[in-house]
Chain A
Amino acid sequence: MLSKNWLKIVLEIAAIVFTSAVFGIFWNRTLLADAWRGAPAGQTAPAAQQAEALPMPIALVQVKELHDSGQAVLVDARSGASFAKEHISGARSFPLEEATRQQTPQLQGVAKDAVIIAYCNGFSCHDSMELGKLLIKAGYASVYVFEGGLPEWRDAGYPTTGGAP
């Protein structure tokens, strides 16, 4: 049985955790509501609108629609090794590192007016945004960035390919 002192500490810990949860959920209520609905992260949108040369964010729902209808080319901006382990089914690999090495990055067999969706490993992964910028600079007209990337796709239960367990 817990002594009085330990009970006091447990209660204090519970109070601290509860207070943090209340503050955190209230502070991020809009973001959490968006995440619950599966919408793209609203706080990155203003950054994407700052300049025309930045690829626009695109949400999971739209990515799935474009993927299923074959209207978009999904481009994996991660390393070749990561791509080999697991990637969105039907996506093609174009690591940011490789695109940076090329003077003008070219996606073989993809028209300049095709819809391109770059993705990488989630929201803090900047590779897809950087790749998107390079592709826009190279003349591709419709470049989007799937912000949730592979983690969101996988969590939604959509098909992936590769050797990941």
Chain B
Amino acid sequence: MKPFRLPLIPLVLRVALGAVFIYAAVPKIADPVAFAGSVAAYRILPYFWSYLTAAVLPFLELICGVLLICGFRVKSGALIIGMLNLVFMAALASAMIRGLDIDCGCFRMEGAKTAPWVALLRDTVFLAMTAAVLRYERLRAG
């Protein structure tokens, strides 16, 4: 007899992860200049590349978020989100090591700063959620 597996939790994780990334993408698409500033504040990319990243990254987040919510090409969407999370975590860790006093630039572009270590913690949770989504997809496929 097949073990009873409740698909609700993977579904909730997938939709929640998708929603988070859509929520993160919308203000960045609305104000790319502010997001370019957030990217520039990390002091990793040269001037123009900060703009290019600010132009493309939010759309990548948006498309992956929509894919996860729709349940279409979930594995690819989740893999991109996982890779993005790893890149964000590396950037945050680098900002922490260099002692940069910056906002993470993760969600809102204005208001109170989010410290890099808080953002790093949050990204760890998102990465765990991504791993769970990918694992479920693998189980489902296999």
| A interface with B by C-beta (< 8 Å) | 9, 12-13, 16-17, 19-21, 23-25, 27-28, 31-32, 35-36, 38, 41, 43-44, 79, 81-82, 121-126, 148, 151-152, 154-156
Contact = CB atoms under 8 A, between A and B. Distances in A.
B80 interface: yes
17 contacts: A13-B80, A16-B76, A16-B77, A19-B63, A20-B62, A23-B59, A24-B55, A27-B55, A31-B33, A38-B47, A79-B101, A122-B37, A122-B50, A123-B36, A126-B110, A151-B50, A152-B40
B34 interface: yes
Given A123-B37, A124-B37, A151-B50, 7 more contacts: A9-B75, A17-B80, A123-B33, A126-B110, A148-B40, A151-B41, A152-B40
Of A12, A19, A124, chain B has the most CB atoms within 10 Å of the CB of A124
Contacts of B43: 151, 154
Interface residues of B, number: 41
Specify the main secondary structure of chain A where it touches its partner: helix
Contacts of B60: 16-17, 20, 24
A38 B51 CA distance: 11
Nearest to A28: B55
B35 interface: yes
B67 interface: yes
A20 B59 contact: yes
B79 A31 contact: no
B2 interface: no
B33 to A, nearest CB: 4
Contacts of B47: 35, 38, 148, 151-152, 155-156
Contacts of A152: 40, 47
Given A25-B56, A27-B29, A123-B34, A35 B80 contact: no
B32 interface: yes
